[in-house]
Structure 1
Amino acid sequence: MPALRDYLLTRRSVGIGFLQEPGPNAAELEQILTIGTRVPDHGKITPWRLVIIGGDDRARAGAALAEIAARKTPGLDETSLEIERQRFLPAPLTIGVISAPKPHPKVPEFEQLLSAGNVAFNLEHAAFALGFAASWITSWYAFDPAAAKMLGVRDGEKFVGFIHIGTPSAVIEDRPRPALADIVSTWSLPAA
């Protein structure tokens, strides 16, 4: 499959500032979610959930983040507050990926977290497959208990990231990639 190979060799995220309307319609979003959730899931326990932030809710979520930021950091200037208000703009759609681990005798929580990370990356692949672009971002609000709860996290859960999706407004140049010789080794049994 040369087309798939070429895509995988050239895929790169497109920052939220370069994502614009249109975003996925309802049918496209369903496909993105379906593709995104086809990931390794040892034990078939679905240790993740997704939260959609779209439409006018993007501005409401940003306003709520600005309020939380202002409470956490009294005296925060208006420029910083405006940055928080814009967190889910201009991208037409954001999907929050939540690690929702479940007790299981054979599937450690770390493995469940990796499954959630696979969902995040697969959502990016799905967006690109449908002609959109995407960016996986994890910021302070993924780790702040009040902000994460406001955005949909329940007790015992945490965000692994937010996948911003839209139509790219620019072609983004590739970044340098690591040389394989620097990151790949061949295992052999150590001498006794």
Structure 2
Amino acid sequence: MTPLDLLLSRFSTDALVQPAPDAAQLERILSAAMCAPDHGRLRPWRYVVIRDDARARVAELVVASMKRLDPEVSEAKIEKRRDRFSTMPLVIALGMHLRPDHKIPVIEQEMAVAAAAMNVLNALHFTGFGGVWVSGDVTYDPQFAAELGFDAPHRLAGFLFVGTPGPDARPARRAVVDGYVAQWNGPATRFAVDDSDAR
């Protein structure tokens, strides 16, 4: 399998089982973040690794955030979120160490965090592991972010659930790239996929 074939075989999954990467494997995987595009070399990505019993503790912070954001949140939704956070083999909180006063626009700092997270997801796949990037309402709760070490203006970008793809892990059907590519020759570009969405 060529490197490109390997990249094209990557897919996101939360059908994850043990083992998760050990400390040495995870250090190498997270080092892939340092290769991400990063205007200004600000390295705005931060990773909080949550293992073992800490998963249940962070799950309770997630539940508290859910109730704070929506006092009428359903018990079913609470239990689903609690279960996911407390049973995933490994959880990584994606932090954004943002500098709003810097000449590099905040949007470019956020894009660097996203690019680094994609590098980490690729590195997981390349080393035989799997993962999925999740967000949801709690990602945007400043109090929850602060509880994980990201006081404003710093924020969360979501979480990576990490482990080994289990027997239920299945790649999604991929769209063909053609509709997302257009050649520019002067007039404003149009994309086939957007035309089909409009119909």
The TM-score range, normalised by the shorter chain, is 0.7 to 0.9
8 A Cα contact 2:88 2:162, kept in partner: yes
Secondary structure, counterpart of 1:104 in structure 2: coil
- Is residue 119 from structure 1 mapped to residue 116 from structure 2 by the alignment? yes
Structure 2 distance, partners of 1:8, 1:84, is 30
Structure 1 distance, partners of 2:175, 2:136, is 24
The one of 32, 57, 60 equivalent to 2:57 is 60
The one of 159, 162, 171 equivalent to 2:159 is 162
Secondary structure, counterpart of 1:34 in structure 2: helix
Deviation sequence 1:127-169 (CA, Å, 0-9, x none): 1122111111111111122222223322112222211110111
Distance 1:180 1:82, change over 3 A: closer
8 A Cα contact 1:36 1:126, kept in partner: no
CA displacement at 1:85 relative to structure 2? 1.9
The equivalent of 1:9 in structure 2 is 8
Structure 2 distance, partners of 1:164, 1:89, is 11
8 A Cα contact 1:53 1:95, kept in partner: yes
- TM-score under structure 2 normalisation? 0.84
Structure 1 distance, partners of 2:81, 2:13, is 20
Deviation sequence 1:110-137 (CA, Å, 0-9, x none): 1111100011111111111221111111
Secondary structure, counterpart of 1:87 in structure 2: helix
CA displacement at 1:190 relative to structure 2? 3.5
- TM-score under structure 1 normalisation? 0.86
8 A Cα contact 1:120 1:160, kept in partner: no
Structure 1 distance, partners of 2:133, 2:109, is 19
Structure 2 distance, partners of 1:8, 1:171, is 20
Superposition map of 1:24-173 within 5 A: 24-74=21-71, 76-102=73-99, 103-105=101-103, 107-170=104-167, 172-173=169-170
Task: Name structure 1 gaps, 5 residues minimum.
Answer: none
Amino acid at match of 2:10: R
Structure 1 vs Structure 2: percent identity of aligned residues? Answer: 33
Figure out how many residues of one structure are paired with residues of the other and give that number: 187
8 A Cα contact 2:93 2:156, kept in partner: yes
